[in-house]
Amino acid sequence: MASMRVHELAKEFGMDSKELLSRIQDLKIPAKSHASVLSEDNVEAIKKAIAPELGEKAENIDAEVAKIAKAEKEAAAKKKADEERERREAVERERALRDAERARRAGSSASSQKAGKPTERKKPAPAPVSSGLSSLARQIEEQKAAEEARRAKQAADARAAKLAAEVAKRKAVAENLARGSKKAASKPAPAAKRPAPAPKATSSFDSLLSQIEAEKARISAEKANKQATAPTRAPKKQGGKGQGGKRGGHHFEPDVPELANAAGEDRYAQMAVQAEKLQRDKVLAEARAAVAAASSNEGEGRRKKRKEKREAAQRERLAMEAIEKGIDPDLVLDDSVVEVMQGSTVGEFAELLGVPSNDVIKRLFMLGQVLTVTQTMTDELIELIADDMGRKVRVVSPEEEYAVVYNDTEDDLKPRPPVVTVMGHVDHGKTSTLDAIRHTGVAAGEAGGITQHIGASVVNIDGRQITFIDTPGHEAFTAMRARGAQVTDVIVLVVAADDGVMPQTIEAINHAKAANVPIVVAVNKIDKPGATPDRVRQELVEYGVIPEEWGGTNMFVDVSAKQRIGIDDLLETILLQADVLELKANPDALASGFVIEANLDKGRGPVATVLVQRGTLKPGDAVVAGTSYGRVRALVDPRGNHATEARPSDPVEILGLSSVPTAGDEFRVFEDERDARKLAEERALRERLKAQEAKTHMSLDDLFSRIEEGTTELNLVVKADVQGSIEALRDAFDKMDQSEVKINIIHSAVGGVTETDVTLAAASDAIIIGFNVRPTAGARKAAEHEKVDIRLYRVIYQAIEDINAARVGMLAPEIVERDTGIAEVRDVFRVPKVGNIAGCYITEGEISRDDKVRVVRDSTVIFEGKISSLRRFKDDVKTVKQSYECGIGVEGYQDIKVGDVIEGFRIEEVERTE
């Protein structure tokens, strides 16, 4: 044992240096200060003398801790029992309320039907509302009390944990002393410095490899499991080439028993075989009919034949499409079932069923529905009338068209390159990173070879391709996802090492999580003097992005986009992440994918950049993209060269479309251009219908009905003026009974409601809740367009009350604030005896003297009150319209500043329609 200084020994004992010094002096061992050196013999003597004392101390603390722990345990058990009882009571109360509401609705609908007004609905009876609210108030009180108790327990837990750590430390020292082993005592208790210490010191590459192996094992286990649990499914398609495979030389015969007995993994593959057989049979039949028609020279039958041909084509298309969508082929093969598009007009319906329109109109009339040939029928009417006629129909919703299930077998699938989107906070270096990457991908001789911007770029690393979507940021990503286009396999999250995690970093993480896309973190700007890459790692842990070297699943790479440091490493990491994902697609099929960018080029006409997801796209293909269609005149790759084909994960520009599609539109190649055209026209028609009744997203008003229909989750996007409000709301939700509806806060942040929030809410069917914040003009418009429910509150309990009430279908009549006008403060005047007057310009609507106003600064409401004066020049006026200037005095508020916005509004009560 070597000599030691006093403070070192004190540290080992877990004692104060002073305390130890005095004990040493008591032992008559020479030591002046904490820095004095003790000889080896003296250290030994001190240890012997102090050991029993330390052990005793530890035992005392031990007993104390045990006592506290016992008391806490008892208290916790009691609290748990109380909480359970409260919860059960709350559930009972809620159930009773819901039953009452159900009974009321049933009663009211029965009575209204009797009165011959099937559509009229009544407001909920006032009594249950008030009782509901009082019970909610009680619940809130209870929740408050429970919260206090929880905090007290947390504090006690923390105290106990501290004591326990102290005991452990002392015990370790005592034991160590007893054993005389210095080594064991040197680390009494591992200090929890890092949030997630690495369990083993393997390199990140090794752990990645093991992760890949684990993932592969998991996938194959899953597959084996699926096969084992689905013995009645169809076998693998024999010689299957998928929909776009070879089409000649086979004899097709429906083979239903084989389908029924099969034990393979993809029943859609079977459907595809059947579809092909069916189609071939139909084509043959049609050809025979055409030959027969041509040889028999019966002119008068021409019209009839054309009609027959039309009908045959219709049948064929419907059957084909249905199978592509994974619908039970029986429904299609059964000729008596007619598929009617949702929103069909009376005329279309009659044509599909092959009956005179007048007949349909008459039957509708008998049901009390007066409709003309061009008016659309509801799903219910379509089914009722068909039933009345003794016909079977299936109403096909527009969504079905997008729910294409491709029939690829394992053999069809080939590895494909990853598609990457770069996200991150403003100025953290997204564009610079993309530039650096693109530069890396360009071979030396090709410097400056990127001649064209097509919305995506392709980089080759050792013969492996990575496709980057050029628009950085999560707006584009989420906008695409909101339209059903999931094109990204990996997200590169750029975080500046000198700035750390920022609001948009968090937003990007939430967007990535909502889309279930893995994140690779590029810690950028490491060349900067203030760069602290480790701090970035630590901050990200809080948001569930945990570095692999700390035991998490996210790969991190330190880079400098500016100095091109670490870019190769980043690209390799992306490829490793892609390996984990085992990305595959069938290249031997008719191409399909999504539009990532589109514009109208003066010289070239409509130009769209598409990302091929399946199949191979070639010049000459008949393609439909959203509501536009055409034959591919030419393909242009990201380097501006004409391409002969584009395979899965390839971005390519296509020329030859009839109009400009929208980013996020699905594109698909058809064998026949007429089919492409037909689908495009159908989509255009449906879009018009959709515009008339845009898909309504989840709203608090219809939460009860959604629960009744089986909805079990309520997604929320929460925006607030301070972080505290978000935390308080989260706490309150945690305490709510979520046995029937689980409440998920999918994104929360401080700040006003933005357009991105609306897009995220639309993509995730969420409601937006705002506390003391306002939506931006863009967000308001987007919410209106997307039918996203934005709820703005001043206090948290209002929001909780609303959600609670909505769950039992008892939302009180809605108090809405009707916005009247918006004024921008451009100057502030000091008027003696009156105070500060805001010199304003009305940018929207009009503001009246009687309006209430809120003063908004940076999307946050900072004051709300009344107008004290409204003037134009020297005159008092009643209203001021858009594009006029005026002076506004706000009652009780003097702190108005240039740049503030004054919003006028009125409070109105709106009857709920439900």
Least separation, in Å, of the C-beta of 214 and ligand GTP? 34
d(CA 695, CA 701): 15
Query: Which is nearer to ligand GTP, 653 or 755 (by Cβ)?
Result: 755
**Residue 451 is assigned to a ligand binding site:** no
**Residue 525 is assigned to a ligand binding site:** yes
d(CA 504, CA 500): 11
**Residue 424 is assigned to a ligand binding site:** yes
**Residue 429 is assigned to a ligand binding site:** yes
Q: Site for ligand GTP (CB under 6 A): which residue of 109, 204, 345, 431?
A: 431
**Residue 427 is assigned to a ligand binding site:** yes
528 is a contact residue toward ligand GTP (CB under 6 A): yes
- Please identify, among the stretches 140-148, 309-317, 522-530, 800-808, the one whose residues bind ligand GTP according to the rule CB under 6 A: 522-530
**Alpha carbons within 13 A on the beta-carbon side of 694:** 11
Least separation, in Å, of the C-beta of 512 and ligand GTP? 16
**Residue 387 is assigned to a ligand binding site:** no
**Residue 530 is assigned to a ligand binding site:** no
Least separation, in Å, of the C-beta of 857 and ligand GTP? 23
Q: Are 13 and 52 in contact (CB under 8 A)?
A: no
Query: Which is nearer to ligand GTP, 279 or 524 (by Cβ)?
Result: 524
Q: Site for ligand GTP (CB under 6 A): which residue of 170, 430, 647, 747?
A: 430
Question: How far is CA 91 from each of CA 94, 237, 700, 747, 771, rounded to the nearest angstrom?
Answer: 5, 51, 20, 27, 28
Query: Which is nearer to ligand GTP, 306 or 453 (by Cβ)?
Result: 453
**Residue 526 is assigned to a ligand binding site:** yes
Instruction: Supply 245's token pair.
Output: 């495979």
Least separation, in Å, of the C-beta of 721 and ligand GTP? 24
**Alpha carbons within 13 A on the beta-carbon side of 93:** 20
Q: How many residues bind ligand GTP (CB under 6 A)?
A: 16
Query: Which is nearer to ligand GTP, 319 or 557 (by Cβ)?
Result: 557
Query: Which is nearer to ligand GTP, 524 or 586 (by Cβ)?
Result: 524
- Please identify, among the stretches 79-87, 143-151, 370-378, 426-434, the one whose residues bind ligand GTP according to the rule CB under 6 A: 426-434
**Residue 430 is assigned to a ligand binding site:** yes
Helix (H, G, I), strand (E, B) or coil at 515: helix
Give the chain's radius of gyration (CA, Å).
35
d(CA 230, CA 262): 10
Least separation, in Å, of the C-beta of 428 and ligand GTP? 5
Query: Which is nearer to ligand GTP, 585 or 760 (by Cβ)?
Result: 760
**Residue 117 is assigned to a ligand binding site:** no
Instruction: Supply 158's token pair.
Output: 């923390």
426 is a contact residue toward ligand GTP (CB under 6 A): yes
Q: Site for ligand GTP (CB under 6 A): which residue of 270, 409, 432, 592?
A: 432
**Residue 431 is assigned to a ligand binding site:** yes
- Exposure string of 70-83, with b = 16+ CB inside 10 Å and e = fewer, is eebeeeeeebeeee
533 is a contact residue toward ligand GTP (CB under 6 A): no
Query: Which is nearer to ligand GTP, 344 or 433 (by Cβ)?
Result: 433
Least separation, in Å, of the C-beta of 502 and ligand GTP? 11
Q: Site for ligand GTP (CB under 6 A): which residue of 57, 325, 428, 747?
A: 428
Q: Which of 795, 745, 741, 797 is nearest to 766 (CA)?
A: 745
Least separation, in Å, of the C-beta of 471 and ligand GTP? 10
Query: Which is nearer to ligand GTP, 528 or 871 (by Cβ)?
Result: 528
d(CA 733, CA 744): 9
DSSP 355: -
**CB-based contacts of 753, cutoff 8 Å, min separation 6:** 719, 768, 770, 773, 774, 775, 776, 779, 790, 859
277 is a contact residue toward ligand GTP (CB under 6 A): no
d(CA 774, CA 751): 9
Can you tell me which residue has the tokens 């451009």? Answer: 826
**Region of residue 288 (left: phi > 0; alpha: psi -120 to 50; beta: else):** alpha
Q: How many CB atoms lie within 10 A of CB 115?
A: 9
438 is a contact residue toward ligand GTP (CB under 6 A): no
Query: Which is nearer to ligand GTP, 502 or 581 (by Cβ)?
Result: 502
421 is a contact residue toward ligand GTP (CB under 6 A): no
d(CA 834, CA 291): 93
Q: Are 607 and 598 in contact (CB under 8 A)?
A: yes
> Using CB under 6 A, which residues numbered 543 to 572 contact ligand GTP?
560-562
Site string for ligand GTP, 442-481 (x = CB under 6 A): ------------------------------x---------
**CB-based contacts of 421, cutoff 8 Å, min separation 6:** 468, 469, 472, 476, 477, 488, 490, 491, 492
Element (H, E) at 719: strand 713-720
> Using CB under 6 A, which residues numbered 221 to 240 contact ligand GTP?
none
Q: Which of 564, 568, 595 is nearest to 469 (CA)?
A: 595
DSSP 464: E
Query: Which is nearer to ligand GTP, 432 or 616 (by Cβ)?
Result: 432
Least separation, in Å, of the C-beta of 477 and ligand GTP? 13
**Residue 472 is assigned to a ligand binding site:** yes
**Residue 898 is assigned to a ligand binding site:** no
Beta pairing class for 814-831 and 835-848: antiparallel
Residues that bind ligand GTP in the complex, under the rule CB under 6 A = 424, 426-432, 472, 524-525, 527-528, 560-562
| Residues in the annotated binding site for GTP | 424-431, 470-474, 524-527
